[in-house]
A and B are shown apart, each in its own frame.
Chain A
Amino acid sequence: MRFTIERRLEQPRWLAVAVPIGSLLFALVVAGVVLLVTGHDPISTYRQLFDAAFISSGALDQTLIAATPLAFTGLAAAAAFRMRLFNIGAEGQLYMGAIVGAAAGLYFGGRGGPSAFVIAAMVVAGCLGGMAWGSIPGVLRAFLGTSEILTSLMLNYVAAYILTYLIFQSESYWRQTTGFNAKVFPTGKPLPPDAIWPSWTLNAQGGIGIPLGALLAVLVAVVLWVLYRRMRFGFEVQVLGDSDGAARYAGVRTRRKILAVMAISGAIAGLGGVSQDGDFRHALDGDPNGLQKQAYGYTGIVVAALARYNPFACLVVAFLLGGLNNAGNALQGADFPSGLVGVIEGIILFSALGGELLVRHRVRISRTAHAPAATEPAQ
């Protein structure tokens, strides 16, 4: 017997549905074995996971909080990866969006102007912050041919140090400096009330808050879809992604596209950052044990890959991963090690990503060339 993996010439539609479902079932079975071995009841564990993610009181509210940043970073990654431009820097671009966006909120807020204007200024500032940070690897790639993977990754660390510096190591504009509490532990200056983003509450499960950021993420997905599916720009980007040479031959200006796509990708990640300020933290979160520990930017890469760079699928995947994330916190405890939660989450993600291979490729089982019948054992 010989296994070969070959590319599918055509990808049947039903596969796109069956494979993710199959992967999930496979993951649940494998994780179930791990759970059994470690002395936990798989069914009740899965039920708890599902409960904590979507069913119990406050679950959807928290899942949305976890999903919103992942939607942004997922869309940011999808926008760039579609062109085979591997922007690993959503993490840093998100920090920069949070920094610049918070500055706008602190500056324009509390002056008696309309709240909508303050929030709009924050949105623009957040996008600009992320865009600027994303454009650095963009320019380096476009003009010097530097690998954007390395430069965008390295800039994540720089952005993290800047973020920590602003709150912990300097008396910056973003840091709260008055009051006794501020002396005891460094915190960001609270945003004025008119710079805090609204959220709409659904009366279910004891109140599900729909943050403005979640709605903006949906809007971004729509815009991206139109841009990539309905406009020349997106078409050119996709041609560039599929075949660099063909695109150049057709007269696509590669350099401009690289700059534009890195800027768009950075802006989306930056929007995710300012949504953290306005929607959830209500200040710039510079604590290395806070925003930086969440690694939203890196998880966004997984979101984009699972969504196969489709913007709407990014939203769905972000929601599911947000649920998984949220449920993980609920599951761990004195009788359930957090490491095991990580293992289960890892198995689910690994199978989901592994299953993708089967959508695009087929496994062919063929018998070896020499005398197959002779080597077969008697039935």
Chain B
Amino acid sequence: MNALAGIPLIVLLGGVLIQLLLGRVLSVRGKGWLAFAFGILALAGVISFAPTIIKGQVIQLNLFPWQAESPFSLYIDGLSFLFALMGTGIGSAILFYCIDYMEHETGTTRFYALMLTFIAGLVGLVSARNLLMVYLCWEIIGLCSYFLVGFWYKQKAAVDGAKKVLVMTHIPGYALLIGILLLYKGSGTFVWTDPALAAQFGTGIFILFLIAAMAKSVMFPLHTWIPEAMNAPTPVSALLHSACYVKAGVYLVARMYSITPWHPSWNVILMAVGCATMVVGALYALTQTDLKRLLAFSTISQLGYIMTAFGLGTPLGLLAGAFYVFSHGLFKGTLFLCAGAVQHATGTKDMRKLGGIASRMPGTAIIWLVVAAAIIGVPLTNGFVAKWLLYDAALQAGAWVVVIIAWLVSTFTAFYILKATVGVFFGEPSPEVKNAEIKDASPRMLAGMGVLALASVFFGVVPQLFIKWIAGPAMTAMKVTLPTSVTFLGLQVNSGGAPVTAGAILTLSALLIIGAIFAIRRPSPKGVSSFTGGDPLPQGDTLNVIDFSEFAETTFDPAMRLMNPDPVYLWIWHAISWLSKLTRTISEAVEKKLGFLIIGAIVVVAAVIIWL
């Protein structure tokens, strides 16, 4: 079995090589099919680990020597399995969707090679036994995202987004490298399973790792790159948000549970970061009129939930985190693919120019509704189970602040997702789309989205399968035992009482509030419809997406200004620019008197050396 551990990685990298070799020979569709085939093969490779992983065992393999005490060495446990399954599974569905979506694009060899490398990067990251390899894969997925976000490199908006991705995620990545080197200095090993390394793992290292994870997983205040990355092809956004990029930071945080027991202060730090991120993401999502930007801010908010769950640190919290991270991959990937299908069909992702397209894109609309229900937390979906577990965990841990914030943000989530749903699919079509010829997504695109939506429902109805086969081993890898037995719809059979009931009530109450508001003010058949958030509007007057966004923007403006870190980054950039100009001025002034410079410098250096 161990000998097969490298198969997913080898298959994916083999796929990259074949894409590059056959790029000039194959048609665009052919390249798409080929990439999908390699994605599925890699998924099969990952699934083949299941029998060993479910037993709580690990799979190890030394691939080849690399450098100082750090061979390319694989260590696949339950946590690796969870993330690798997510990367290859969701990745394959996205690649299937790409076959039609990318049909009319140029540069598809580059696109598919990068997509496969991206997935391979995540698989390598979660399978790596030594931390230097972790850093290697960390940066490989960083580079892939940079190149993929800038795929349309002739468009200014795309390359501006790519620049921000690189700068804002690579620079904090040095915190990870410094942390790894500090561990190496103290322990003499890069292997994270080595107890000598664990003994060196203190609060400083935790903070360094967390900084890197925060940048990758869009935690406040390092989150501002992700909305700018939305000018990429939609499958890239889907992969970035669902499986292969933002989840890398979550993996790093979860893996720290495998390395060492957590100090209580670490939990507090992570919960604080997670809660702040939840709120910031949701507030900004409320104000968006661009569908993909709304989903991007939604990712920020949802990642806040996930990190908060891991921050709780209790077995139930970790279970909630593991369940949420996979669920989010499924529903967020699908939401992005739906958004891409809408953009593909209408030529816009601006919600002000959309509306009423459900009748013309019924397949996409149905899939959207399913996953929208999942992200809001409607029963029968995985989102409901994830939220329920999270509330239970927070209640059990006595983390009331977390409960209140999470509940509040759940309400916001329902608001902005309903705003998007109504604004895009229902109500009166905008003039831009009214007479346009709009076709539903192709069967293959629908299949790519549909399979992920179905999985969202499947794991909402029978979450116990996921918990037993996937989350359970992941819990073992994080050195905790499964705290509860979950059955259909997320019901817990061996625990009960107030926390569980309250958890369910909290999850449902957010929905009930939204439902009640909707019932008070039903969407008007005339005009683009959005609920008012209060009393019905006068006859003939309607509230549309723009009004809603402006209302949210006005209401939350002070909070949003306070929580926007971009002015700080801009200030740093201006300070650096000023310093560089000053250095240049000094340098030019000195160069005019070159003789003096040389003699002066020689005298100073000589004096220092002789004095020393």
Query: Do A and B belong to a common assembly?
Result: no
Tell me the A residues contacting B by CB distance below 8 Å.
none
